[in-house]
Structure 1
Amino acid sequence: MASDHDKKPNMVELNEHVTETTTAADTSALGHLANQEDHEVGKLASFRKYPWACAWSIYMVWIVLLVSFENQAAGNVIGIPEFRKDFGHQFTADDGTVSYVVDAQWQSAFQGAPVASAIVGALGCGQLADWLGRRLVVMICLAVTFAAVTMEFVATTNELFFGGKFLNGFVVGALASVTVTYIGEVAPLKLRGMLTCLTALSYTLGPLTVALIVNSTGVYTNRWAYRAVFCAQYGFAAIATAFVWFMPESPWWLASKDRQADALKALNSLGHRGYAGEQKLAQIMTTLQEVKRETEGATYLECFRKSNLRRTIISIMPLTIQSLSGITFAASYSTYYMQLAGFTTAMSFKLQIVQQVISLIGNVMSWYLVDRIGRRNLTFWGLFVLTIILFVMAGLAVVGTVPALKGAISMILIYCFWYNVTIGATAYTILCETSTSRLRVKTIAIGLALQNALNTMWSFVLPYLFNPDQLNLGGKLGFIFGALSIVCLVYLWFYQPETAGRTYEELDEMFANKVKARSFATHKTDAQAMGEAVKEKENM
């Protein structure tokens, strides 16, 4: 069949402009045919058919490592005694034990300010990525990150370290937004769930790398105890920079700018060759044309108009729920809490590695479950179990004995595993596939900005709730996050639709027709029906 396709007349050949004889009806028919064939290609066949689309998606996952590494580094270095000595002050506990503590306001600044700048970076990226393209934005971000990491590495004062973290926050926000957008635009349908879950894998690999470095150098009695962490960021950025020059631009962005010939070349680079490239371009053009009925432009305001408002809420809520369900505490304060619970510094670093390894295993499990169980079920029931874990952790913290506190630590480890199996992975899949095509990068930017806003709030609040020289709540924070999770469960039960296995054209149609959330999994769209009809006619 594929060989017959290559011989069809009026086809768009590689490196040629779209033929003028191609009518809107022809484009629509080709688009619906591509939509139907997307459903017929399995996971393994998609890997074989589109290896370069998968490869460039994985490249974006590598870039997300920069984001996750930077996010984790600030929290973990606070657990390094030498860092607290160089950037903090001496603290004498009630039992006479002398240690060093970084002032709560500086802890808040180190963690909160870069998250705040990430909000600006994400929102700015939403506009820049539509103006300049996904590829150029990545290049700009990589250039800035070298300067920011250098500031962090050479810092000997709180002010300079803060400046480096703050500058890198802009890069973190922008890269988090543009990478998820790019993966959502180039990933084959049957691999979209798994490849977007790989984004969450980066959010475990980055912290794991930090934990391994800290375990090796964290006990040093000089500045390399923590400088080694920031030095490693040069390596991640250098590898990303080496390949960015060969990165194809998103065909969706090129098509939205009426650059069909360039879009076809990009599709060819991603594995859509010959007639398959024309089919895919027709599908993109058809989807973009249909979306224009619901959007008057590609502005942030459009994300809150008509059916786009519902799509924006559904896209960003799982990411928001991540912040409300306690991941900031589990990810950034677990090492410090382990030390306060009685573990030695060396043992707390080893447990941090265990935490990241089981998080990674959890994410790998999500690759299969996100399509097998579905986005909705995995998100809801995952959060349900997380809520139970949070309350158990808080209860053990109330008991307060050494065995109980160590039990609370074990709950954090179980939490991190289950979080990455479920909402830690599904949130990114839902974020990139629920938003409409023309507004995808802006919707993703809004979601990440909102999450970063919540993380900023937690970054400033948690040191005062958690630190031993403040309210000293420790694991009792589980009561707060557990209560917030119950509210989030109510939302997910009533409003979260199932988007697994749906092309962007089908999702556009269902949202435009206001299909109820509970009906998404079984609803048959006109796009499916037309695709089946075109396919049947083609086979005659």
Structure 2
Amino acid sequence: MADEDHKDRIEAMEHAEARQMTGDKGEQVVVESAFAGLSRLQTIRTFRRCIGYVLLACCCALNDGYEFSIPNSVINIQAFVDEFGIVDSVTGVAALSPRVVSLWNGLQQIGIVSGQILGAALNDRVGRKGAMYGLTACFVIGAILSVVAHEWRVWLAGRFIFGTGMGMCQMTITTYVSEIAPTQVRGTMLAVYSLSFAIGQFLSAVCIKVLQDKTPALWRRAIYTQWIFIGIWILILPWMPESPWHLARKHQHEKAKRSLARLYKGVPQWDADREYLVLQAELAHAEAIKPAWGNSRFIEIFRGVNGRRTLASIIGPAMQQLVGVPIFFTYITYFFAQSGVHDPFLATIIMYCLYIGALVISFWTSELVGRRPLLLWGAALMFSANIGLGITGSFKVINSAAAVAMSCIWVFTYSLTSAPVAFMISGETSTPRLRAYTNGLALAVFGSLGAMFTFVVPYMLDTQHANWGVKSGYLFGGGCLLSFIAVFFFVPETAGRTYAELDELWESGISVRKFAKAKTTAQQSGAFELRPARTNA
């Protein structure tokens, strides 16, 4: 009986709020944030505290990037090979079994996919912060197994659990950032996630270089350094507020308001009731268009308008794998070696300088140029780089300088376009009510493609098998072409739009190519004027 009374009170509250949104006489009233008209610079100045929480959340991405790279790097240290490898009876030199290395890499990718799927369920059930605790537990267990491993199977278990934590991190943090970041800088904040991941990878490369130069026999020191970033994240985690979006969806209204108060504390002229009403208006619209398909929420992401939105969410992350990540970021050292650059660390430094520099530029281009044009132009330029790379290997002697040039062009273009924008598109095109499930599926597709290429690419490059070498660029050139077509027909422009506006545009059924110029109810009413990306794409 008490449960029924509680449910009735919730419904009465929501009906009262709905009347506020439609006005006393039933007319439509546009509920819009009082800060919707701020410029991007004004937004950063006004919402410093909220952006601070976004940056703290991205420390998890930095940890993710570090944990992803360290295990892949230490296997190249001879002391590690001596401990886990097999000694050749003829030469007396230890070497890692290709089968074991394939299992390590493949199972980590499977762990990433598992974590993305598990993370979607945890985010929906226990919230964003609850999922953060779950991924942290995976990082801790994975680090412990890596430290105590003296046999390849224990190392394998550590890689799988680490992978699970990485997948949960990618799914949870991008969802969290897309929900709490102010609309005007949402793209920039999601680009910070990608930058944090890249910085983690760069720091791991520096760590391995220092270790190889000073104490190469003590390879476990690299594993110990993982605890630095895990420890920093553990200290940050208790202070992170839960996403008010999640709390409001669970009808925990007081907790949601307290979360908003923490995120936006100190904002001048902050009207908590109005801003919470804005959030509820967007959620109410999402519930209003909810179809009567039963209680299977996961199935909903494939049906009707939700299906279109899910497809758009998947295309961005899938594009990252199809345009060449499996060869350029995994085998760029190989390409540089082909051109006479035999210092792997130098090759890594060149790659990450281009990578990080372009990601910083993307903070502005993602908002000023827009998501859709960046993906389209990025696919076109990476197509050219891939085909150019393939051409360099189509003669008896590889044109080394051209191969390096094509690799650098690809890395810079990818880092400026697909690397940051894929996560923006995944977070912004999904239905707010189903965001955790949609993002989880999109990242699971990304991880599945990564796992497939983990097994396939070594055979493509191996001289004893396909022996494609740099001619692998032809294959991923085709992936760029496929990505361009998919983006052109299925991915809209989302820059500068609130989630309520995106809901309205999707529900209107207009072509994704017209999203950039379409006028929403909020714009027509004069509630605010969209600062659109400078594009006609």
TM-score range, shorter chain: 0.7 to 0.9
Q: 1:414 to 1:211 in 2, by over 3 A?
A: farther
Give the ranges of 4+ consecutive aligned residues of structure 1 lying more than 4 Å apart after TM superposition.
Answer: 18-23, 27-34, 89-92, 96-101, 219-223, 272-275, 339-342
CA contact (8 A) 1:183 1:196 kept: yes
Would you say 1:125 and 2:119 are equivalent positions?
Answer: yes
Q: Identify the residue that residue 70 of structure 2 maps to in structure 1.
A: 73
Q: Identify the residue that residue 472 of structure 1 maps to in structure 2.
A: 467
Q: 1:333 to 1:157 in 2, by over 3 A?
A: farther
CA contact (8 A) 2:249 2:283 kept: yes
The Cα of 1:143 is off from its aligned counterpart by: 2.3
Q: How does 1:15-414 map to 2 (within 5 A)?
A: 23-27=17-21, 35=32, 37-89=34-86, 101-219=95-213, 222-225=216-219, 227-271=220-264, 275-296=270-291, 299-339=297-337, 342-344=340-342, 347-399=343-395, 401=397, 404-405=399-400, 407-414=402-409
Aligned residues: 510
- Listed one character per residue, the Cα deviations across residues 35-67 of structure 1 (whole Å, up to 9, x for unaligned) are 364430112221222222101111121101222
CA contact (8 A) 1:148 1:168 kept: yes
CA distance in 2, matches of 1:481, 1:97: 38
The Cα of 1:180 is off from its aligned counterpart by: 0.4
CA distance in 2, matches of 1:118, 1:330: 20
CA contact (8 A) 2:341 2:347 kept: no
SS in 2 for 1:172: helix
Q: How does 1:502-513 map to 2 (within 5 A)?
A: 502-513=497-508
CA contact (8 A) 2:63 2:197 kept: no
Q: 1:109 to 1:340 in 2, by over 3 A?
A: farther
SS in 1 for 2:288: coil
- Listed one character per residue, the Cα deviations across residues 187-241 of structure 1 (whole Å, up to 9, x for unaligned) are 001110100111111231121111111221235674434x333222211111111
CA distance in 2, matches of 1:114, 1:286: 41
CA contact (8 A) 2:317 2:423 kept: yes
Q: 1:442 to 1:338 in 2, by over 3 A?
A: same
- Percent sequence identity is 26
The Cα of 1:315 is off from its aligned counterpart by: 1.1
- The amino acid across from 1:395 in the alignment is I
Structure 1: gaps spanning 5 or more residues: 1-17, 535-540
SS in 2 for 1:399: coil
Would you say 1:525 and 2:520 are equivalent positions?
Answer: yes
Q: 1:38 to 1:423 in 2, by over 3 A?
A: farther
CA distance in 2, matches of 1:32, 1:207: 48
CA contact (8 A) 1:194 1:368 kept: yes
CA contact (8 A) 1:390 1:411 kept: yes
CA distance in 2, matches of 1:467, 1:78: 19
Q: 1:435 to 1:231 in 2, by over 3 A?
A: same
Q: 1:70 to 1:21 in 2, by over 3 A?
A: closer
SS in 2 for 1:258: coil
CA distance in 2, matches of 1:427, 1:113: 24
The Cα of 1:489 is off from its aligned counterpart by: 1.3
Structure 2: gaps spanning 5 or more residues: 1-11, 530-537
CA contact (8 A) 1:74 1:110 kept: no
- Decide which of 410, 421, 425 is 1:426's aligned counterpart: 421
Q: 1:523 to 1:21 in 2, by over 3 A?
A: closer
The Cα of 1:275 is off from its aligned counterpart by: 5.0
Length-normalised TM-score, structure 1: 0.88
- The amino acid across from 2:56 in the alignment is Y
- The amino acid across from 2:135 in the alignment is C
Which is bigger in relative contact order (C-alpha 8 A, separation at least 6)? Answer: 1
The Cα of 1:99 is off from its aligned counterpart by: 7.8
